[in-house]
């Protein structure tokens, strides 16, 4: 009986080893497939990252150009306003100068005419 128990135990151990080997092969195959899927996902994400970086650089360049354009337009606008203001003031100054020429000599010495 003891010999039978040993044989039974040996048989069970052999059977467990075969089952474990089969399970190990299945587990290995499952892990291999999962690894392949994950590697594929990594490549997809790396491509998305690369495209995102390209888009970021492109958008940054466009935004920098936009800011420069706005600044240039602002400077041009300020210059145009300044020129327009000066051109509107010049005739008034000319009128004052012409009026001063016709001012009697006695008034030319007052503070308000200096």
**Per-position DSSP letters for 87-108, written without gaps between them:** HHHHHHHHHHHHHHHTS-HHHH
pLDDT per residue as tens, the chain (114 positions): 555 555 556 655 555 655 566 677 788 888 999 999 999 999 999 999 999 999 999 999 999 999 999 999 999 999 999 999 999 999 999 998 898 888 888 877 777 766
* CA 24-15-26 angle, 5° bins: 20
pTM across the whole model: 0.51
Task: Give residue 57's region: left, alpha or beta (phi > 0; psi -120 to 50).
Answer: alpha
- Per-residue confidence (pLDDT) for residue 5, from 0 to 100: 59
- Per-residue confidence (pLDDT) for residue 63, from 0 to 100: 98
């Amino acid at each position: 009986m003891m010999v039978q128990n040993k044989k039974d135990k040996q048989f069970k151990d052999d059977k467990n080893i075969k089952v474990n080997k089969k399970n190990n092969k299945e587990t290995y195959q499952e892990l291999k497939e999962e690894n392949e899927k994950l590697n594929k996902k990594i490549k997809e994400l790396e491509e998305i990252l690369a495209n995102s970086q390209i888009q970021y650089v492109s958008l940054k360049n466009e935004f920098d150009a936009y800011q420069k354009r706005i600044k240039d337009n602002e400077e041009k606008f300020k210059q145009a306003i300044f020129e327009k203001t000066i051109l509107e003031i010049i005739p008034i100054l000319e009128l004052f100068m012409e009026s001063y020429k016709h001012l009697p000599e006695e008034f030319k010495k007052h503070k308000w005419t200096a």
